[in-house]
Amino acid sequence: MPQVQEFSQRSPSGAAHLFHRPALASSMAAQLMSESFKSGLFLTGPRRTGKTTFVRGELAAALRDEHGAFVLYVDLWDDQKLDPGVAIYRAVGMALDAFDGWGVRLARRIGLKGFRLCGVEISLERINAGQVESLTTSLQNLTRVTGKRVVLLLDEAHRCQTTELGRVALHGLKAARDALLLTPGPGFRFLATGSHAHKLEHMVREKREPFLCARTRSLPVMGEDFLHWQSGLWEHGERPSLAVMGASFDRLFHRVEDFIEVCNSVRAIAAIDAGEAERMLVEQVDRWLANEKKVFAEKLIAAGPLATAFLYLKAERGSQFAPHFSGSHERVMQLLSLMGETAMQPDFSMQGVEATLARLEQLELLWHCRIYVIEDARHVDWLLEMELSTLFATDRRAVKAA
Ligand SMILES: Nc1ncnc2c1ncn2[C@@H]1O[C@H](COP(=O)(O)OP(=O)(O)OP(=O)(O)O)[C@@H](O)[C@H]1O
Ligand SMILES: [Mg+2]
């Protein structure tokens, strides 16, 4: 279900277990409300670095409290089964409905009896048949009934590209943005987030994309003040130095939750000296990373040698990845031979390659929507430094023994 945050006005920014970045929230809110960002802002950042927590909590609060905006937050990750397009239409509809049926009355006036945007089953057919109020009309009405500038925060916006209705909704939002820019009134702003810079960049660089030329910005990773905050939570024993904490945070790819968990596990051990605390922190990070790499290797084994070779090729070639090119197939054969798969005769037909890549998508190792992207940026280095010759060795031994 999409979440409409405006109605729980209590800002989560007071949550004690969270580290706060009020200055960043204020400056980003001011930017988003400025003329220079009227085409939209696409905020990127690696996985698990705190984008959602920041946008949904502190940024939304700054937009409301410092700029009097009406904030709509839609999380396209929340319900994976819900079409992203439906989520967007519904969120806007729910916000309108909450205003005392004003949207309903308006819909009746324009002749759609009993029309209630969020109660209507939203489908491509209904949208095409004009049975669903356009996002332009809905958002115009929302600015009118609230008397405020509406700011839509769309989390994991790249998911819109994965369905037709999602793309329709994006085009609808673009049309709404353009219409609201021309209409006198409080106006509209749009912020999209995504955990992969390439996925989002595609949305603002491609000529056919509705948000071509919108601004992009990466969410700064947590800095030294965050390390100070964590260090301040040490109650017993000596704490590790900020330098060791910082290096550990870097090694964990700035994944906030992972770092906090590692720190918690060291903190739980009372009365150790600083040197010991540092050694334990480094050990815990090693253990954490070893476990993550093990999980990744297990996924590759599940994907099989051929799919692994294609993923490796993607890691090597980056944006030059061309899975249907014969030169790529030669490299795949070399990689298979490195893995000890000398007898394999892969199906390099269009369908054969597509099926292999689909396997990687099913395992959430690869993302495909016009461009191919390795889902987890950490996997690129992990793959390239992997000992391919031993990866499937246990598997082969098991087959021989059977
Ligand atoms: N400011 C913060 N203070 C403390 N913990 C945080 C903070 N921000 C994030 N976290 C922790 O990190 C986890 C991941 O954060 P969040 O979901 O915001 O990241 P994300 O970048 O949106 O992740 P994803 O790439 O999966 O969308 C949270 O569940 C929370 O445990
Ligand atoms: Mg998120």
Ligand 2 (ion): which residues have CB within 5 A? 51-52
The closest residue, in CA terms, to atom 12 on ligand 1 is 257
Total residue length of the chain: 402
By the 8 A CB rule, do 324 and 376 touch?
no
Structure-model confidence comparison of residues 2 and 361, the more confident one: 361
By the 8 A CB rule, do 252 and 288 touch?
yes
| pTM of the model as a whole | 0.85
The mean pLDDT value for 156-171 works out to 90
Q: Which residues of 62-101 are buried (b: 16+ CB within 10 A; e: fewer)?
A: bbbeebebbbbbbbbeeeeeebbbbbbbbbbbbbbbeeee
**Interval 310-321: pLDDT, tens:** 999 999 999 999
Q: Which residue of 256, 263, 264, 378 sits with most ligand 1 atoms within 8 Å of its CB, as the best mutation to test the pocket?
A: 256
By the 8 A CB rule, do 82 and 61 touch?
no
- DSSP state for residue 221 in the 8-state scheme: P
CATH no. for 5-218: 3.40.50.300
Q: Is 197 in the pocket of ligand 1 (CB under 6 A)?
A: no
Q: Which atom of ligand 1 is nearest to the CA of 77?
A: 27
The structural domains of the chain, with segments of one domain joined by +, span 5-218, 224-298, 304-401
Q: Is 257 in the pocket of ligand 1 (CB under 6 A)?
A: yes
The closest residue, in CA terms, to atom 14 on ligand 1 is 48
Ligand 1: centre distance to CA 116 (Å): 35
CA angle in degrees (0–180, nearest 5) for 207-210-213: 65
CA angle in degrees (0–180, nearest 5) for 36-38-39: 105
Cα gap 328→333, rounded to integer Å: 9
If we measure between CA atoms, which residue out of 191, 161, 176, 159 comes closest to residue 60? 191
If we measure between CA atoms, which residue out of 212, 134, 157 comes closest to residue 43? 157
Residue 349, C-beta contacts closer than 8 angstroms, at least 6 positions apart: none
For the purposes of burial, counting CB atoms within 10 Å of the CB of 230, is it exposed (0-12), middle (13-18) or buried (19 or more)? buried
Cα gap 264→282, rounded to integer Å: 13
Q: Which residue of 53, 156, 258, 263 sits with most ligand 1 atoms within 8 Å of its CB, as the best mutation to test the pocket?
A: 53
**Interval 30-74: pLDDT, tens:** 999 999 999 999 999 888 999 999 999 999 999 999 999 999 999
**Interval 83-111: pLDDT, tens:** 999 999 988 888 887 775 655 555 545 54
Ligand 2: centre distance to CA 54 (Å): 9
Cα gap 184→144, rounded to integer Å: 11
The closest residue, in CA terms, to atom 29 on ligand 1 is 257
In this model, does residue 128 exceed pLDDT 90? no
- What six digits make up the tokens of 338? 């490195």
Q: Is 50 in the pocket of ligand 1 (CB under 6 A)?
A: yes
**Interval 62-77: pLDDT, tens:** 999 999 999 999 999 8
In this model, does residue 198 exceed pLDDT 90? no
Cα gap 157→159, rounded to integer Å: 5
Q: Sign of the C-alpha dihedral, residues 273, 274, 279, 282?
A: positive
26 Ramachandran zone, left/alpha/beta (phi>0; psi -120 to 50): alpha
Q: Which atom of ligand 1 is nearest to the CA of 58?
A: 1
If we measure between CA atoms, which residue out of 254, 211, 196, 208 comes closest to residue 372? 196
Name the closest ligand to CA 15. 1
Lowest mean pLDDT among 104-108, 161-165, 315-319, 326-330: 104-108
Q: Is 51 in the pocket of ligand 1 (CB under 6 A)?
A: yes
